Structure formats: C-alpha cells, structure tokens
Amino acid sequence: MISTICILGDHIQSLGIARIAGRLGLKVILLNEDKICITRFSKFCSNFLSFKTEKQLQDILLDLSDQEKNILLMPTNDKLIEFVINNYGFLCARFMLSTPAPEVLKFCHNKKQTYMQAQKLNIPIPESYFPDSLEQLEELMNRIVFPVILKPAIMYKLYRKTGKKGFLCHNKEELRSTYIKTIKYISASEIIIQKLITGGARNLYSYCSFFANRTTYGSFIAHRIRQKPMDLGISTTFAISTVNESISSYAEAFLKGIHFCGLSEVEFMYDQDDRTYKMLEINPRTWKWHSISNKLGINLIKMMVDYFNDLLLERKENKQEGIGWIETITDSYVAFSEIIKGKLSFSEYFGTLKIEKEFACYDPKDILPAICYVLFLPYLFFSR
C-alpha cells in the first residue's frame, strides 16, 4: 500500500499535490533543484531535499528507496519527465511511478511524436511541418501559410536557453532567420513549424484525467481563459470548468491509442477557421492548476493512489460548469495588461472573480506557502 508521495519539482502544482496527498494521510517528500520553493513550507511537507545534478538526484532517490518502501514518485515538469525516461529501469525497480513506461511517454514528451500519433488516430492538429534542415525548410516555404509558430518538440530545452516557448513568424524572411537562430539552441530535428490558431487563451482548453486500462476513471475539462503571456503562454493564471463532448472524445481516443496510464492534461485549441478543436500537446503528469479538482469533487490523485493499491474505483466525469481556479497575483497582472490593451473589460474581469474558485496558494489551514509566495515574488519573477 502506498504510504508516501515523493514529489519531484516545485512551485504551485507541487503545492497542490502536497496538500491533496497530506489530506489523504500520506507522507509527503519534496525533492527540488532550488532551495527557494513554496511547497517545502507547507505543513503537509514532511521532508525536503535539494539537488543540483541528475547524479545527485539519483543518489538521493537510491538512499530514499533504502529507507522507505511503498513510495509513489511524481515528476512535475518536462525536464523531470525526461529524467524518468532516462532512468526508468532504476526507478521502476524501487518506486511506483505516476507516469507510464518510456514507450508510452515518447508520445507525450516529444511533440513531433504526439502529432504523428494524433494524425494516425484521426485527431485534428494544427497544420504542422517538421523540417530537419534549412534546405527542407526552403522546400516547404511555398506551402506554408503565415503567420506560423516555430516551436520545439521538447519545450523546456528551448525555454531554459531563451525564456521563450516559441517564436511567432509573419513571413518567409522572419521564419528563415528565426530557424537559423533557433538551431543554435536545439537540434533542427526538434523544430516544429505550426500554423497559428488565432484567438489566444480565449480558445484554449484542457482535458484532465486519471486514465488506466483503457478507461477514464476521473475527468474534467477547463477553459484556460488567461495565461502569462497571453500569446504563447507558459503559465495558466485563470481556468474555469466547462463541458465539451468533442474534446472528451478526442482526448480519450488519444489516451486509448497510446495505452496511457496515469494522470494527464491534454491541451486543445478551438480553430475558428474550420470550427474544430485541435490537439496541441499532452502533459503526462500533473499541471499547474490541477487543484481545481478540490472544488469539482474529482480527486484524481486519490484515484491514482487507490489504483496502485488495487482498490475499487468509482468513475467520475465532471458536469459542473463555471468553477474556477486562480493564481491571484499573476492573474491580476495579466488581466490589467489585457484591460489596458482593450482586450478585456473591467466587468468581464470582475465577473470571473465572483465565481466559486480554488486559489493556487492561499489556504487558511495551510497559510505559510502563500506568505512565502509573496515574499519570493521578486526571485520567482527573475528566475522563472
């Protein structure tokens, strides 16, 4: 029986995991690269250890597996998903893992693999090209309809070097020069050229679930109406629950098609040109705003723990619309920026603040992480 959750990585989603796991009566251990992190200050965090290198993380986990048994390991970002892939044999021999095996993870971790698999399963994706060289890009130029986004197959590799999730290109010259600059940071084989779907966060949705044995045990969909930055966002600041049968159908088809097992967030964007929802990516792990599940009454983490403990699971699909999740400070910045640009009205903004919602950090029964978040804001602003 699982007795301990070991979280790899920090920030808001890790805080959500720690609180949920702690309230299930599980011991929570946090491992993170940075000592300045909010989850370590939660009353639910029993132990915190920091690491700087992959070798240090391996050594910590080896010691941990010798000291404790029945640990469920939960990576929280793409870099740590790659760590799991690279160390799968070592890890699965000592821990239970919240992620599936590498042969499944490859369809999630690398977006080129994601899109190719989605096409095989007849799931719509944005028009995409995968030029492995500048010569191949030149051959594609006359077929490409601008504007397009140039983005990496594995996001964190580009983001940690440039602070960008991708680059918007409006014409051939801009695309050519951006491609040449980008291959200085990542391999040409990891570059994706993708048609821009207009509408930004207003058309952005996510299907979130615990899925195993070709069955969805728990699921909900959210409309991610605000993110930072609003275009090519890397961080959701406000999400609101909704119901959408098309998104559910596509997401479940993809999860079944790759034989997925675990927690995931499958992202879609509504394309106004052809009125279809198109798959953008899948995160094979928890995501920043997963704690909205507290308000929806669909505890995906509990479902996963019960699954590993061979307990009977009750299937739940969310039917509640209009339940929110907010990261208050960052969302205020995003909202007022949009108001200044004339893209959001005060009434729309304050309307979203009135709905029932889960707060990212604030919890009156676990207040210290929220206080630390405010104190750490200058550091988080420059480091993230």
Q: Which pLDDT tens digit goes with each residue over 90-138? A: 999 999 999 999 999 999 999 999 999 999 999 999 999 999 999 999 9
Burial class, 1, CB count within 10 angstroms (exposed 0-12 / middle 13-18 / buried 19+): exposed
Q: Say how far apart CA 267 and CA 281 lie, in whole Å.
A: 5
What is the rounded average pLDDT for all residues in the chain? 95
pLDDT at position 243, please? 98
**How confident is the model at residue 384, as a pLDDT?**
61
Separation CA 88–CA 95 (nearest Å): 10
Which pLDDT band, with edges at 50, 70 and 90, does 224 fall under? very high
Report the distance separating Cα 137 and Cα 378, nearest Å: 41
How does residue 68 score in pLDDT terms, banded at 50, 70 and 90? confident
CATH topology (fold) of 200-383: D-amino Acid Aminotransferase; Chain A, domain 1 (3.30.470)
Residue-level pLDDT at 38: 95
The helix-helix angle for 78-86 and 54-67 (nearest 10°) equals 70
How far apart, in whole angstroms, are the C-alpha atoms of residue 4 and residue 6?
6
Helix 328-340 with 346-354: angle, nearest 10 deg = 160
All structural domains of the chain with their residue ranges? 4-99, 127-195, 200-383
CATH fold, domain 127-195, is Dna Ligase; domain 1 (3.30.1490)
Residue 327: the pLDDT is 97
User: Mean per-residue pLDDT for 78-84?
Assistant: 95
* Spatial distance between the Cα atoms of 260 and 104, rounded to a whole number of angstroms: 7
Band of pLDDT at residue 156, cut at 50, 70 and 90: confident
Give the pLDDT band (50/70/90) at residue 157: confident
Tokens 């729309």 belong to residue: 348
| Residue 143, pLDDT above cutoff 90 | yes
Give 298-352 pLDDT, tens digit per residue. Answer: 999 999 999 999 999 999 999 999 999 999 999 999 999 999 999 999 999 999 9
Highest mean pLDDT among 61-70, 223-232, 315-324: 315-324
Handedness of CA 10, 11, 12, 13 (dihedral sign): negative
8 A C-beta contact, residue 36 and residue 30: no
pTM of the model: 0.95
Band (pLDDT 50/70/90 cuts) for residue 382 is low
Contact 185, 155 (CB under 8 A): no
Query: Per-residue pLDDT for 383 more than 80?
Result: no
State the burial class of residue 110 (Cβ atoms within 10 Å of its Cβ: 0-12, 13-18, 19+): middle
Class of domain 4-99: alpha beta
Evaluate whether 65 touches 42 at the Cβ level (below 8 Å): no
